[in-house]
Amino acid sequence: MTIRDILVHLDDGASCAGRLDAAIQLAQTHQAHLTGLYIMPHSSIPGYIDVQIPADILQTLEDRLIATAQTVEEKFKQATDLAGLAAEWRCQKGFAADLVLDHGHYADLIVVGQRDPDSIGGPALEEIPDHIILSAGRPVLVIPKNYAGGTIGKRVIVGWDRGQRATRAIHDAIPLLQKADQVSVLIVNRDDSQDDGSKLPAVDIAHHLARHDVHVEADHITSTDMGVGDQLLARAADMGADLLVSGAYGHARWRELILGGVTRQLLDQMPIPLLMSH
């Protein structure tokens, strides 16, 4: 698969500039079309709130929402024009997570921001990464809220456990891995003293990636008191990685998909961009 269509979710938060920079960098690298999607909330008051708001106040709120969207649009168009990209701006009203999901069906890669409890967007924006990762059926690149620029995908660490989701993630990532200078496929195995033949090999997947012209090495870690998430983050720091690739794990609870422990930890503590598939 090649990356020809990238969708980036935009908002008026402080972390949006870094997210846009990351999406532009990837679009340039892969000669891809970039779509910027801005979700404008409704200015009306929910029906369950029993209060009457004067029409002029509602209009003022609407005007502010439009002005904010126009400001983000101008920044998007200026940045993509400067980068010489084929780009498209889209602005819709509604629930952010659902609309990003709808538009994401037509993208090769979806770029979103890390959850930020301090975001002015509130809970609606916080739900985006989880909802999109588990429901889009597309690879999702999550950009850290404090991302300050730099390379993405030159030094990549890939978490591998031979499972379905890791398999999906690693194959979704191949277009990125092919352009990397260094790729390390990491497996966390149990203590050597307890070897019963169940250790997971990284050599086979490394050979497979090498056949796709990926410069890859297999790496094993013996598990310690540190969890898998901690091991991945520590090795990424040691390697100076600028991208982490992992499958996303979730399970059903109260009819909702809840992210598993390692996935939740990576999303909450990620110091570098994180590519996930489910």
Q: What is the pLDDT of residue 263?
A: 78
Q: Which residue has the tokens 């106040």?
A: 57
**pLDDT mean across residues, the chain:** 85
Q: What is the pLDDT of residue 151?
A: 95
Would you state the structure tokens that stand for residue 79, as one six-digit string? 């940045």
**Secondary structure (3-state) at 56:** helix
Q: What is the pLDDT of residue 41?
A: 81
Per-residue pLDDT reduced to its tens digit, 119-130: 655 445 557 888
pLDDT at 170 over 70: yes
pLDDT at 198 over 50: no
User: What's the average model confidence in pLDDT over 44-65?
Assistant: 73
Would you state the structure tokens that stand for residue 55, as one six-digit string? 């029409």
Q: What is the pLDDT of residue 258?
A: 47
Do 187 and 160 contact (CB within 8 A), yes or no?
yes
pLDDT at 246 over 70: yes
Burial class for 119, CB neighbours closer than 10 Å (0-12, 13-18, 19+):
buried
* Beta-sheet pairing, 109-113 with 5-10: parallel
Q: What is the pLDDT of residue 56?
A: 82
User: What's the average model confidence in pLDDT over 185-204?
Assistant: 65
Q: What is the pLDDT of residue 75?
A: 98
The pTM for the full model equals: 0.88
First vs last Cα of the chain: how many Å apart? 17
Q: Count the alpha carbons within 13 Å of 72 in the hemisphere toward its beta carbon.
A: 26
Q: What is the pLDDT of residue 223?
A: 66
Q: What percent of the chain has pLDDT over 70?
A: 82
Distance CA 125, CA 61 (A): 19
Q: What is the pLDDT of residue 163?
A: 84
Q: Which residue has the tokens 């978490």?
A: 159
Q: Compare 244 and 198 and report the one with higher pLDDT.
A: 244
Q: What is the pLDDT of residue 197?
A: 47
Structural domains of the chain sorted by starting position, each given as residue range(s) with its CATH number in brackets: 5-143 (3.40.50.620), 155-277 (3.40.50.620)
Pick from 74, 80, 76: nearest CA to 33? 80
Per-residue pLDDT reduced to its tens digit, 85-108: 999 999 999 989 999 999 999 999
Distance CA 181, CA 144 (A): 22
pLDDT bucket at 203, cuts 50 / 70 / 90: confident
